[in-house]
Chain A
Amino acid sequence: MATRTIEMQLQTPGLDAQGRVQMSPLGLERIEREADDLHAEHMLINIGPQHPATHGVLRLVIELDGERVIRVIPHIGYLHSGFEKLGEYRHYNQIIPLTDRTDYLSPMANNVGLALAAEKLMGITVTERCAVLRVIACELSRIISHLVWLGTTGIDLGAMTPFLWSFQQRERVYNLQESWTGARLTTSVTRVGGMMADIPDGWEAGLRDFTRTFTKTLDEVDTMFTKNAIWIGRTQGVGVMTKAEAIDYSLSGPMLRASGVAWDLRKDMPYLGYETYDFDVPVGEHGDIYDRYLVRLEEMYQSTRILDQTLDRLEKLKGAPINVDDPRVILPPKSRAMSDMEAMIFHFKQVMEGVTAPAGEAYLAIENPKGELGYYFVSDGTAKPVRWRIRPPSLINLAALPKMCEGALLSDVIAINASVDIVMGEIDR
């Protein structure tokens, strides 16, 4: 390293005994120091685990050369709750409340996924009305999850107002959720073989009102962001994943589609009769943050389209059963359990022993807002699974963060991290 001599003449003004101004030298006339070779020294910066831009308790250790990122080392696990372990000690229906707490931004969709996986294991097909209600649950979850993403990403990039718009709309869905399930967040809306409850009277009108007026907010966001120079400057060409890389890193959901892979489980491996709904799957082409934004924005419009179709179907299925007619998995009505011997025995067995699944294993994946949410059950024939595995979409999407941040600027790391749409409850489980 070169040695550089800096000559300095530092003086402080003062007054002498006669009252004249006098400059006295500061003492350090010559400073010899090693010149800073700015490129030789890397800086380590720590973001999180308590930092608003890391969307929870994610911790990023970033090695910087000036402002350029050399590498990012994510540390996770601060919210680890051992859900998978806990699931091995719970009946299938008792696992459903655990799924509320994994991806807590879309609890109803997780409930649906878990019920579907358990039903696949047990060979149960749900009723038509139940399937429609579950589609509503999934699509409402997609909308609220994407709204949170939109609002928080906007804030991360310096736009405060869309956050308020999106949370206003989200509040309307939460009110619907509350009047259906009694809970705003811990919904637990499904049961193996059916639903916890049918929608209350007049609920459809509330949903219809929501789908009719909600897209106006999306239009506003579209006006605000899509052609906004600052938004474009911060997002286009940042955090790019090519098509091949996206597949190589096992990305899923909007992250995969933004990279140009037309893969949506609702279309390609349909469940709940999604093949009978009319909707489009937006696919990006550049794989950058901007395309992820466009994909998520369009997905909300498409979810609204699906919700409109479910409402038409609900009308035709008025009064149809929401639970399968199978006393092994569905509790009998309380009035029958108190008066009918057989019903009482089924009630007792289900409450005490739980719903048993035949020995075997099943993996079922649904297209969650964050990506492919898979539940993998291994059963040994008892009422509790031997293994319950959650395939967490945000964990696998986040694993590509170091790759996406290579060579980016520090401020881009915040934008890229926001674009992944992570939720730490699901990553750490």
Chain B
Amino acid sequence: MRRAPDIAALRARFGAAIERHAVSCGDEIVWLTNDRAHEILAWLKADQGYAYLVDITAVEYRDPELPLEVVWFVRNLTTIQDLRCKVSLDPTAPLAVDSVVDLWHGADWLEREVFDMFGVTFRGHPDLRRLLMWETYHEGYPLRKAFPLRGHFSRGEQTRQALAANPEAHYSIEELSIAEAFDDLPEEMRQRLAHGERGNV
């Protein structure tokens, strides 16, 4: 059966780094300070047996006064305990937290998705690229509350961009270099790619 996580042990060890603890609908939630979040998650994994990372996501509230939260769901598979850890960020400032890819490989794509959808930077992530949206997408971060449901660009603008697509931009520079295809491109296209301009795909 499920057991409640040991919040007292967390508080005893990290003190003020545990900002808040709450229970919502039976789920245990702790708020961590941003600078020690990685350290606490590492301790939870190594010492408390929270070996399984369930999910990483972020929440932005409709109330602009409330902070944007990055959420880690961790689980202890032997004692069957779930714990949700959160870090509050100021949505008007640049958003950044430490990456946990060094603790869980499963965090790789999940962090990329949060970056893609919310624009949160994960410091130390080995390959922080957009996951679902394409690399040259520049309308913003779709799951932010300031992002309108239909997107910033009109349907006409989206069509125009799709028609102006540069087919080589389907491949990254890295992939083109594996295939040694970069040299085969026309000079003008190489110039554009070298300048980081990938066209609109």
Contacts and interface: CB of A to CB of B under 8 A. Distances in A.
A247 B109 CA distance: 15
Contact of B62 (A61, A261, A380): A380
A327 interface: no
B132 A428 contact: yes
Contact of A268 (B61, B73, B80): B80
Interface residues of A, number: 49
Interface stretch (A22-30, A232-240, A357-365): A357-365
Given A361-B24, A386-B59, A386-B61, A372 B54 contact: yes
Interface string B37-65: 00000000000000111110101111100
Interface in B97-152: 104-110, 113, 117, 130-134, 142-143, 147, 149
A389 interface: yes
A32 to B, nearest CB: 22
B181 interface: yes
A427 B52 CA distance: 20
B27 A362 contact: yes
Interface residues of B, number: 47
Contacts of B163: none
A197 B133 CA distance: 38
Contacts of B179: 42-44
A328 interface: no
Nearest to A119: B25
B106 A399 contact: yes
Interface string A82-122: 10111001000000000000000000000000000000110
A69 to B, nearest CB: 12
B133 A61 contact: no
A365 B82 CA distance: 11
Contact of A250 (B52, B62, B143): B52
B149 A89 contact: yes
Nearest to B58: A387
A73 B181 CA distance: 17
B105 A391 contact: no
Contacts of A76: 131-132
Interface of A: 41-44, 61, 63, 73, 76-77, 80, 82, 84-86, 89, 120-121, 123, 245, 247-251, 261, 263, 268-269, 360-363, 365, 372, 374, 376, 378, 380, 386-387, 389, 391, 395-396, 399-400, 403, 428-429
Interface of B: 2, 24-27, 29, 51-55, 57, 59-63, 71, 73, 77, 80, 82, 84, 104-110, 113, 117, 130-134, 142-143, 147, 149, 171, 175, 178-181
